[in-house]
Structure 1
Amino acid sequence: MHLLRTRAMPLSILMLVLGAVSMTALHVGAHPELSPVDELQHIDYLYKAPAVVHSGETVGQDAMREQACRGLATWPQTAACSTSATYDPADFQEGGNNTAAIYTPLYYSVTKALALPIKAVTGLDSLVTAGRLVGGLWLAGGLVMALLAARRLGAHPYVATAVLLAAASTPAVLLPAATITPDAAALLGGAALLWSILWWQDSPGRRWWLPMVLAAAVVALKALNILIVVVVALYVLLRAVVDQVQRRRDAGAVVTGPRPAQAAGLIGAMSVLALGMAIGYIAYTGVSAVADTSAVAMTERTTVDSFPLRATVEHLGVFVNVFFDAGSWNTMDFVGALSQRLLGLMTVGGVFGAIFVLRDASRTLRLTAISLLVVGTLGAPMIMAFSYLSQGIAVPIPGRYALSLIPAGVAVTAAAIRGRTASWAIAAIGFGCWALSMAFLIDS
């Protein structure tokens, strides 16, 4: 038992890496078809990376061939699989327009750089298959960084590992990891930024640079990852206020947290970098467009004439459950639905428990949970307001927009577990969800 305790972190990291890579590989093998979540456009960007895809650009022959040969359940098969045919973009979704032009080439370039050696070593005949396997590395990195964040919040390694493996088995996490989409990197971005803030607060005078770099990087991966930037910025603000109140109330108290000036400087820097990256790239896509996209079906579907007030109000609180709405495309059948619901209930309970129930919750844990609850309540309406003000569009908010929040939800939940019985129960549920999902994929 003592040996297991001393090796808890190395064993946990090994389990997370093997669990993520194996699950992703099984999903890639079981589901060669394209995902309907814009994977055609993302595949086109993967082939063209590291070049920038501009607004109005059409998908290339390589991407269209992947769809023609793999198939897409939500789109009629209008083109036969062929290695020599020249495809017409008009036969594909959105008239062949690459709607992924709103993203920077960062995710696609990194994925391609890792996929090409995998393709060469394994002899795979498709860059897409190799790129999907890279998703297992993105997922493994996200799980490991989430474990490190959970440990800083006080979670036991094995409890955190069980919950993280269960999270990896949910459709909300597994489908992005096993397909070509910048959502595959959201878990790693969110976990790394959360961990960096918890690491920074121990030495704010020397470690300020990492959260700044990561805040820009997570938004460069996908602008909607700005939600986790808001969470950590709010945490830094709350921590500074609480620490300052304690300093004034207890003149002799030793408060080791960041000083107000350090907190304000970091919040300002992260905000400028993250917002600058998000707004700047939106502006860039507009001025660098190679064709008018106003007639594209997606643009017509989402463009609105007035602010969507009712829809904005209806989206209040949907991200309190960070596993909200996996979407209609569930490759894991009832197993995925079960794990999604269990993880949603677990994390909502963990967040509320850390805030309102646990008397021995650390200041760091409670303030992280409060920050997550605030952004979970206001995050979706913020996205709707930003989308309307920046682009004049309104779309129903899918659960995948909250992917960067999942590491924080899982870390808080794992750290809120108290007692041997609860720890064993949560560990059993977590490992059980992962094992059931693995069995389902093996049998697929």
Structure 2
Amino acid sequence: MMDFATSRRTVALWLRNAWVPIILVVVALVSGGIITANHSDQFSPLDEWVYYDYTVKIPTQGVVRQGELIGHEALVGMACNGDSFGPRGEPCNDVQDINASYPQGGKTSADIYTPLYFVITWSLGKVIQLLTGAEFLTAARATGILWLAGGLLVFYRLLELMKVRRVVTLGLGLAIIGAPTTFWANTYISTDAPVFLVGAALLLAGVSAIKGRSSPWWLLPIAVIGILLKVTTVLALGLVVLALVLFVIFAKHETAWVAKRRLLIPVVVTVAAAGFAQVAWLLIRAQISLGAGPDQGLAQPLAWRDIAGMLALFIYPGPLSGNYDPLLRIPQIVGAPLVLITIAGIVAFACARFANPLEKSLAFSIVLASTLFAPLLALGMYLLLGDVFPVIERYAIPLLPAYLLAAAMIIKNRVAEWAVLGYGAFLVVFVTACSIAFA
């Protein structure tokens, strides 16, 4: 039987090895919890209204259909609390479900999503509501914090596998907790909430497979689940597939063909399965459709000048740009250093002297993804839908783990390491304090 002294040594050893992920998870839960609790009942302008409607319909409908009208509960929320544009629709004290008086004619635009994210949000939200006594809107928003905590754990393991120093991992992790991306994606109801986790998990699976630490077949379930959560996770899948293919090319004199085939076959199957999952959902969506969805006025004809202008979109402004709130109470400039860190990381990692084919394949795939994926996404929409819809910076959130990995790989100087840690700590404390002060 283990004695007390042995148990204490075991716990001490575990804490010495796990202090970084413990700090990141605790800070994410505390900071995210404070920020979420201090939000008003006003909806986020990033489609939270339709996401809330989808979530509350889960126990009665299970799925929201194209052309469907927004339900009573969400209509009351828009009429009484509104979003950043203020209350809209009917008078708050006389909501009679006259949908035509609301934005988008009172029709949902969330029908493009499978029910998976909303089932998870409703289920976890009910548990959080039961444990905390919070109203359901707040409890559902709090599920985003759990996605963030999971993403940070996977991100830590990824950087550990790439032998990044823990101080750098901690600094970058804290910076992500305090980033404007996280503010919108993980403290409101948002389909962007799980994509950082999915992006990190795909990259971890790819790196682990190359290093021989795990089977490349792990890519298959992660990719399919990711696609069903949000289709933009295909960007992370594309980056990982690109890295694996480039690794096979760059390692041609160092890796046997049998080992390369071990990587390539799961990659082909994974891409096919993810594509099949998305096509299957689109067919189901069309089959259960009630009619045309709302005309949001976003479609535009293909213009090659606009496509070319997207080459830098996923780098700058990039997924880390943006304001913390529409009233600009939290200065946007506090998040600017993180944008610069990622841009510098992408460029410097691509120009670095590579220690092995893995680093080279990662660097090249990150550069190609950050420049080509935005215009390719626009072209893909044009081929599928006949129109180009705006490609926005936050679509690149699945690429963030790769961007931050690139930055981490080039931070070698002790001064730079501690500067990143200091900045990350400042950012999360400042943003959390502002959320209390401006509540």
Work out whether the TM-score is over 0.5.
Answer: yes
TM-aligned CA deviation for residue 81 of structure 1: 3.8
Aligned to 2:3: none
Q: Are positions 1:168 and 2:177 aligned together?
A: yes
How much has 1:217 moved relative to structure 2?
1.1
Q: 1:5 to 1:159 in 2, by over 3 A?
A: farther
**SS at 1:181 equivalent:** coil
Among 426, 436, 439, the residue aligned to 1:442: 436
| Cα distance, 1:154–1:365 mapped onto 2, change above 3 Å | farther
Match of 1:65 in 2: 76
Indicate how the Cα distance of structure 1 residues 340 and 70 shifts in structure 2: closer, same or farther if over 3 A, else same: same
Aligned AA (2:77): E
Mapped to 1, the partners of 2:316 and 2:154 lie a distance apart of: 21
Q: What do residues 34-63 of structure 1 show as CA deviations (whole Å, max 9, x unaligned)? A: 011111110011112261111111111122
CA displacement, residues 144-180 of structure 1 (integer Å, 9 cap, x when unaligned): 1111111112211221121121122121222110111
Instruction: Output the aligned Cα RMSD.
Output: 2.5
Pairing 1:74–2:68 present:
no
Aligned amino acid, residue 341 of structure 1: A
> Aligned residue for 2:105?
95
Work out whether 1:10 is the aligned partner of 2:18: yes
Question: Could you list the per-position Cα deviations for residues 387-407 of structure 1 after superposition, in whole angstroms to 9, with x for gaps in the alignment?
Answer: 111122322222110111111
Counterpart pick for 2:299 among 293, 299, 303: 303
AA aligned opposite 1:308: A
Q: Do the aligned partners of residues 428 and 257 (structure 1) sit closer, same or farther apart at CA in structure 2, a change above 3 Å counting? A: farther
> Residue deviations 1:217-243, cap 9 Å, x none?
111111111000000000100111111
- Residue by residue, what CA displacement relative to the aligned partner does 1:352-379 show, whole Å, maximum 9, x if unpaired? 222213x364432332122111011011
CA deviation vs aligned residue, 1:119-156 (integer Å, no higher than 9, x gap): 112222x3221010111111111111111111112211
Q: Unaligned stretches of 5+ in structure 2? A: 1-10
Q: Which residue of 2 aligns with 1:220?
A: 228
Q: 1:392-431 alignment to 2 at 5 Å?
A: 392-431=386-425
Alignment of structure 1 residues 328-407 onto 2, 5 Å: 330=325, 333=328, 335=330, 337-357=332-352, 359=353, 361-407=355-401
| 3-state DSSP of counterpart to 2:267 | helix
Q: How far off its partner does 1:328 sit?
A: 6.1
Structure 2 CA distance for aligned equivalents of residues 183 and 213 of structure 1: 19
Structure 1 Cα separation of the partners of residues 100 and 426 of structure 2:
46
Q: Name the CA distance, whole Å, in 2 between partners of 1:92 and 1:66.
A: 11
2:6 equivalent in structure 1: none
Letter in 2 for 1:178: T
The 10-residue stretch of structure 1 (223-232 or 72-81) with the greater mean CA deviation from structure 2: 72-81
SS at match of 2:131: helix
Match of 2:127 in 1: 117
Counterpart of 1:39, as a letter, is E
Tell whether the 8 Å contact from 1:44 to 1:60 is kept in structure 2 after alignment: yes
SS in 2 for 1:146: helix
SS at match of 1:315: helix
Q: 1:412 to 1:215 in 2, by over 3 A?
A: same
- Choose the corresponding residue for 1:233, options 221, 238, 241: 241
**Are 2:75 and 2:95, in contact at CA under 8 Å, matched by a contact in 1?**
no
**3-state SS of paired residue (1:429):** helix
SS in 2 for 1:190: helix
Counterparts of 2:162 and 2:397 in 1: how far apart (Å)? 20
Q: Which amino acid aligns with 1:318?
A: L
Once the two structures are TM-superposed, the CA of residue 332 in structure 1 deviates from its matched residue by: 8.3
Q: 1:336 to 1:383 in 2, by over 3 A?
A: farther
Aligned equivalent of 1:196: 205
How many angstroms apart in 1 are the aligned matches of 2:170 and 2:339?
17
Amino acid in the other structure paired with 1:134? T
Q: May I ask how many residue pairs the two structures share in their alignment? A: 425
3-state secondary structure, aligned to 2:69? coil
TM-score, normalization by structure 1: 0.89
CA offset at residue 209 of structure 1?
A: 2.5
For 1:268, the equivalent position in structure 2 comes to 268
Structure 1 window deviating more from structure 2 (260-269 vs 397-406): it is 260-269
Change (3 A) 1:422 1:360: farther
Structure 2 CA distance for aligned equivalents of residues 5 and 418 of structure 1: 26
Q: Structure 1 vs Structure 2: percent identity of aligned residues?
A: 25
Q: Distance in 2 between matches of 1:121 and 1:440?
A: 26
User: Within 1, Cα distance between the matches of 2:215 and 2:319?
Assistant: 34
SS at match of 1:342: helix
CA pair 389-115 structure 1, distance change in 2 beyond 3 A: same
